[in-house]
Amino acid sequence: MHETPLHFRTITEIAEGIASKQLSPVEVTTAMLERIDRLDSRLKSYATVMAEHAMAAAQKAESEINAGQCRGPLHGIPIAIKDLCFTKGVRTMGAATVLADHVPEFNSTVVAKLEAAGAILLGKLNLTEGAMGGYNPKFEIPKNPWNADRWTGSSSSGSGVATAAGLCFGSLGSDTGGSIRFPAAACGTVGLKPTWGRVSRYGVLALAESMDHVGPMTRGVADAGIMLEAIAGFDPNDATSLPDAVPNMLEGLGQNIRGVRIGFDENYATNDIDVELAEAVCAGVEVLKACGAEIVAAQLPDMDEYVAAWPTLCSAEAVAAHAATYPSQRDAYGPWFRGWLDMGAKVTGAEYAKANNLRAACTGHIRRVFEQIDVLVCPSMSAPPHFVTPEMLYGPNEARPPKFQRFTVPFDYNGAPTLSVPCGMNSEGLPLSIQFVGKHLAEPLLCRTGHAYEMATAWHTLHPDV
């Protein structure tokens, strides 16, 4: 008997069960849809459940697999998609009332690639309006499965909740200022933000195109690598997608990390952040050292000065992204995102240029740090998930201190890949998260490093009691 309940097993485990005929895509999909029906009225992670679509896909996958036509590790695996990604014939709303009736006539590239890999789409997941910080009052707010009064990590909140609560085996999120890493950290899951351009953004509603990333959220590092490999690659429909060949993301996963140079700036990682989180990250560094990694003392500048430029860049680019509906339908937006667009509309060309210069300087500093290291380790966010209030959720938006995004924005600026992995629980029973940052296109090394950490600890085996 398998000790882990079906809904909390990893993609890797479910794929092994399907390959050995101990599980079938139809029975797994049926079980997940029943669990969603039973629990999601409280957790509110799904914007749209695609039950008929999922069952038809499961039956097709089962027939193909039984005929010896397995497409790979995602074939027959139920997953879910952040409701930014176009899905043919299914509402794609971006949690905005101006898009409430938006039904795409084609699939986004990431959805098309997941379906080509044989994955089964359970549905579309809730998020903050426009993928920024607050929710439109007419849309549901996902609840943190560890504590319903705590933050779920902002934009990709539905992805974090559904993955953590066992309502899918993996999901897609997006990250412009932290929205793969924040919900992964807040909900206790793995989040993999790829190199910018590694994954096509064609058919994905934009927030700030120069910083938008699409990536997987899962309950295991290997699962994140499997999903990333399926969605990565050049796309002629997205001129910013990278032409580099997609590697085996799990290459060397079972090898040790002896000799890998892991940079750690203790001041950057621990100064003015939650004490229990800082202790957990420092303990994580010791685990990596015990795994054979070479710990290198790194030195980063004060990132907060550079992070402060992010609202200028993001809000101005958001205005460009919403040109079809803002300002013409301004009053249809919720107060949080409406305020964000209003702020962006006031940004001058000179202000954007100054902010962009700060972004370039930040990227330059990080580039020099990586001359001496292979991977940088730091927290995924500056504190465990905080209490939320209606004002935080609905707006108007209030400025957050730069330290809030100290560990996320610099790597949206430079497009470096990052991997967030659970690293502990605090005294209130809330998840803590460690982040690994790599060089461009170094996702396989990040997966290898994160997997080594995961195998040396047990934090990834903990699940919320829902």
The residues assigned a catalytic role are: 82, 155, 179
- Chain centroid to CA 108: 17
How long is the chain?
Answer: 466
Give the C-alpha separation, 213 to 351, whole Å.
Answer: 24
Evaluated on CA atoms 263, 266, 272, 274, the torsion sign reads positive
- Token duo for residue 53: 């679509």
CA distance 99 to 456: 45
Task: Give the SS3 label for residue 264.
Answer: strand
**Phi then psi dihedrals of residue 181, to 5 deg:** -75, -40
Q: Residue 98 and residue 337: Cα distance in Å, rounded?
A: 12
Question: What gap in Å lies between CA 440 and CA 459, rounded to an integer?
Answer: 27
**Closest by Cα among 154, 122, 199 to 400:** 154
The rounded distance, in Å, linking the Cα atoms of 74 and 16 is: 11
Q: Are 339 and 395 in contact (CB under 8 A)?
A: yes
Task: Provide the total of helices (H) and of strands (E) in the chain, helices listed first.
Answer: 16, 11
